[in-house]
Structure 1
């Protein structure tokens, strides 16, 4: 009987599955829908089974092989204890499942199972340090109360500055003009938009901030300096907990490296593997369950 190991990286947008056999040979990889367990544990399980089914078929396997599969799950929302327990109480067709957060999977993969830390900054942000089987987390309590260094907070601060520029309080730079043009040069449209805007809606302006900073825009430069300061704050916090090897992950973190101070840049290393590979590393190992 051949055993198989499955790694899952699941978030609010997609669920990615990768299957290897017990010798480490690649079997297949596929993607399905949302697997953030806070959006529904049943929805997440459906996406997981769907992604594994697709990946299995690519490698010539079927649902009959599911009982021989050990599944490692790196899922968004797993940090919420009640959601974790609700998910784990579901029935499933696999040999075992082990559930931890997507950040945990990313950190395990980034350091190939060794101790180390990651700083994720995309739309949101979160830092995690794994040491001697313990995980230490900084930030990551979601927008708008946390997630400094992420694209959503960048976008929120930008909108605030644009409104100040419209009031004649601060300079109206090309970046500010670009944003107000997005709203048809109508402040009232910004106000209405803000009432229902999601983190990703604020985060959509982060590419423009980087682009205008390259052109010397003073507002864009100040935005990136603040974001770099935010990221450094978390990196320093991780270092104080013992981390000396930190991987920057996510669209903002990877681009902000050049804006970090040289001492902090010395802690930054390149990730070795991705979150799916991290999940594969703890598949079948119950000690990696978050709760």
Structure 2
């Protein structure tokens, strides 16, 4: 008698989109899809759940699932986990008695290395955060909010570039090819307009200035100082997690476009990380975050909910 196949579903939910990945007993990817935003710091719980359902409905091949794991932006503790897990169990594609896990999306990033929740991950994109799990204990540094600074992130580099450009406008710093590139990107040439820009600051728009900073970092002292300071902040993020969890060597998977771009900035922060311990092994993601979430779903224990972060 042939045994029925079980299916496992992973969600990677962010502030602009959600990705779903469905795998089978053998870990084979059966189906993948994109859907609307589901980060609970961007949309309501009800909208987030509707986004998961819409993303599941977009899968080219669908099956009810024996386990589901949702790694979502904005999940910040036990209350968020319990509320979301309770609601997730009630979605129509989740089988009765299915195993359900909910965590912050940093878990997906960590599992993107080898499909397991052990080691460290460093996310450097628009924002920044370092997260690790070792022997069942977890720790996180950074990733509070862009208004806190998101040290070492694309926003951080862009914001520091804005501060430099303000000094160019009023004469505290000399004009240069770097400041000219910022002027072209911003379309701002005067003090009042820059004041208005600061007053209505947009996180994504500011982060788009980061490639200008990294492009000029090898030829401009101000651009170099920005990446050197940011690289030291990255060291602090990583070193704190590494020491706090008592690692004696581990994989560190680096996720995010800025973190994996071939730039002088990456060279600097990697040098800083290697100074923490030569036993830290730098890795790039092997699995897509939604695929990693599906692998977490497959490995969930026979109890509901997720871990407290």
TM-score (norm 2): 0.84
The worse-fitting range, judged by mean Cα deviation, of 44-53 and 269-278 is 269-278
Tell me, yes or no, if structure 1 residue 29 matches structure 2 residue 46.
no
SS of 2:172 mapped into structure 1 = coil
Specify every segment of 5 or more residues in structure 1 that has no aligned partner in the other structure, as ranges: none
Look up the match of 1:52. 56
Specify every segment of 5 or more residues in structure 2 that has no aligned partner in the other structure, as ranges: none
Please state how far the C-alpha of 1:268 moved relative to its aligned partner: 4.1
Runs of 4 or more, structure 1, over 3 Å off, are 80-86
Distance in 1 (CA, whole Å) between partners of 2:141 and 2:260 is 18
Look up the match of 1:247. 253
For the 8 Å contact 1:3–1:21, the answer to whether it is kept is yes
Distance in 1 (CA, whole Å) between partners of 2:66 and 2:58 is 14
The worse-fitting range, judged by mean Cα deviation, of 137-146 and 26-35 is 137-146
Please state how far the C-alpha of 1:169 moved relative to its aligned partner: 1.1
Distance in 2 (CA, whole Å) between partners of 1:13 and 1:141 is 18
Distance in 2 (CA, whole Å) between partners of 1:41 and 1:222 is 41
Distance in 2 (CA, whole Å) between partners of 1:119 and 1:263 is 13
The CA deviation string for residues 244-270 of structure 1, in whole angstroms up to 9 with x for no partner, is: 321221122223331136462342421
TM-score (norm 1): 0.89
Equivalences for residues 26-175 of structure 1 within 5 A? 26-38=29-41, 39-55=43-59, 58-59=60-61, 61=62, 65-66=63-64, 68-90=65-87, 91-93=90-92, 94-95=94-95, 96=98, 97-113=100-116, 115-175=118-178
Look up the match of 2:282. 269
Distance in 2 (CA, whole Å) between partners of 1:80 and 1:185 is 44
Please state how far the C-alpha of 1:224 moved relative to its aligned partner: 1.1
SS of 1:260 mapped into structure 2 = helix
Tell me, yes or no, if structure 1 residue 260 matches structure 2 residue 269.
yes
**Count of residue pairs the alignment pairs up:** 283
Tell me, yes or no, if structure 1 residue 183 matches structure 2 residue 182.
no
Distance in 2 (CA, whole Å) between partners of 1:170 and 1:268 is 40
Looking at secondary structure, tell me which structure has more helix per residue.
1
For the 8 Å contact 2:106–2:131, the answer to whether it is kept is yes
For the 8 Å contact 1:106–1:276, the answer to whether it is kept is no
Distance in 2 (CA, whole Å) between partners of 1:251 and 1:98 is 27
Match of 1:4 among 3, 7, 11: 7
Please state how far the C-alpha of 1:123 moved relative to its aligned partner: 1.0
Distance in 2 (CA, whole Å) between partners of 1:287 and 1:113 is 19
Distance in 2 (CA, whole Å) between partners of 1:257 and 1:287 is 40
